[in-house]
A and B are shown apart, each in its own frame.
Chain A
């Protein structure tokens, strides 16, 4: 007791402290177990029964044994479209907020805009997409509508991760660039962005993983059906994605093996999201360790 006399009070405090420490560790262990159990449940139900032809076959409406080919393709296609639109704008917005934005009321307003936009529920973006594409342009539920709506959902998150990544770049590096007479945009492109790139790529992967599994937006904008062809690059065909297919199969489908299809789809979804998160970050992580 560090030379202090132990009283009843301090003894109780010591005891409570020990109990609390054990309690915190138990809580941590339980939560970790819950997470691993969750991942194990999802993956173990679907992956062992997974055959390669499930990934490329057409879905069936009536007979058992349908696959997820077109919906898996649509998932990646819509993800690609949404990133194609949102990454340039999201990066630009993040760079502006980190490098250019002066400390004034206008910037404050911009910041409120970004934060508000990132708090907009995904279902509202779906309704926006529905209003723009299905009502205003009257093209119905399409891959293009899904991709654009998803891009809008990604924007604020991309802007935020870019801003954080760019802000984390040390000021001396920029000053070294300015001292060589470089212009501001030149410094950003050739000095700041390469340094911030690993954090930005990590951020883009997070956004991509979220977008890949997003369903509320896609249900409203790309619909619950596919065109029925495997490699359909037409932007105006209906574009059911894997996440939406999971919803459709478990709620509306009448095939007898709906449960297995749903299990397998969930496993593929989680697997791809984890894959996106790990594989793209792995080289960066290796690079960081070598330094």
Chain B
């Protein structure tokens, strides 16, 4: 090995290329190297192109709405009767927000509790059991969640509450809570595990019990990661369609109680878009609602990024 390597090193860069036993083959390697690099770059640019396509197609159609309707009529009116040309989406927007809030209210304590159990308390064999089982939840299709909600949860709610239908925010929030649980749990779990060991050791050395360490040291230290997890759960809850559409009742009105049949942005889109003419104010209004969903998701992703950057700076 010694002599040729030494020779190469002294002869400099130009001759290295000539050293190759078969210059043709060497050239082919360099060419394929370039080709692959371009292919990988092309792939990532294709992803960006798709994002552009989404924004362009949805946004372009959505903006046509304001040629027919003033933004105030769309955003602040609660009256959605497309047959009479009233396209007020305020009820859907408020319902989406309250559904998301209710979902998180149910899901966050449970998922963070599970994450603490997984990361801090459970022995190792239990962790290797709990984590894959939670992953099973991710695999179940959303339409099946909706179907179980419809056939099992709704009759149960009817019996418990005495309501005649049971459709509404509560049913949708319970189904969604189960769906976002693994997302929030997994990422909070990672955040808690990545809290440095010395924090725990210091707290235990001061005589803290495990509960005190968890509540006063670990959760505050992992809080940014947990908030990111919650926001990621939010994006899932906001965008979920089929599970919600089966249990929420699909009535375009404001959900004043937990059992009012209502409708959110996603469920209203999927129920109506197949039946409308492409060049109609109705269709433009539905696209505007989709565009709103896009904007909400992008804002949430942006918040996660800012949180992530702060966490890195703090570390």
Residues of A at the B interface (CB closer than 8 Å) are 4, 10, 13-14, 16-17, 20-21, 24-25, 27-28, 31-32, 34-36, 38-39, 41-42, 88-93, 95-97, 99-101, 110, 112-117, 119-128, 130-132, 134-135, 152, 155-156, 159, 183-186, 188-189, 206, 209-210, 212-216, 219-220, 243-244, 246-247, 250-251, 259, 262-263, 266, 269-270, 273-274, 277
Contact = CB atoms under 8 A, between A and B. Distances in A.
Contacts of B44: 92-93, 96-97, 101, 110, 114, 159
A246 B43 contact: no
A213 B151 CA distance: 19
B199 interface: no
Q: Is the interface of B mostly helix, strand, loop or mixed?
A: helix
Interface in B132-173: 133-134, 136-144, 146-148, 150-152
B266 interface: yes
Nearest to B181: A31
19 contacts: A13-B212, A25-B117, A28-B114, A41-B148, A93-B43, A100-B41, A101-B44, A117-B50, A117-B54, A123-B241, A123-B266, A123-B293, A127-B287, A186-B32, A213-B139, A213-B143, A220-B274, A247-B146, A270-B144
Given A156-B47, A206-B138, 10 more contacts: A90-B43, A95-B43, A120-B294, A121-B238, A122-B241, A159-B43, A184-B33, A210-B141, A262-B151, A266-B144
Contacts of B42: 92
Interface of B: 29-30, 32-33, 35-37, 39-44, 46-48, 50-51, 53-54, 57-58, 61, 110, 113-114, 116-117, 121-122, 126, 130, 133-134, 136-144, 146-148, 150-152, 178, 181, 207-212, 214, 235, 238-242, 246, 266, 269-270, 273-274, 278, 286-287, 290, 293-294, 297-298, 300-301, 304-305
A212 B141 contact: yes
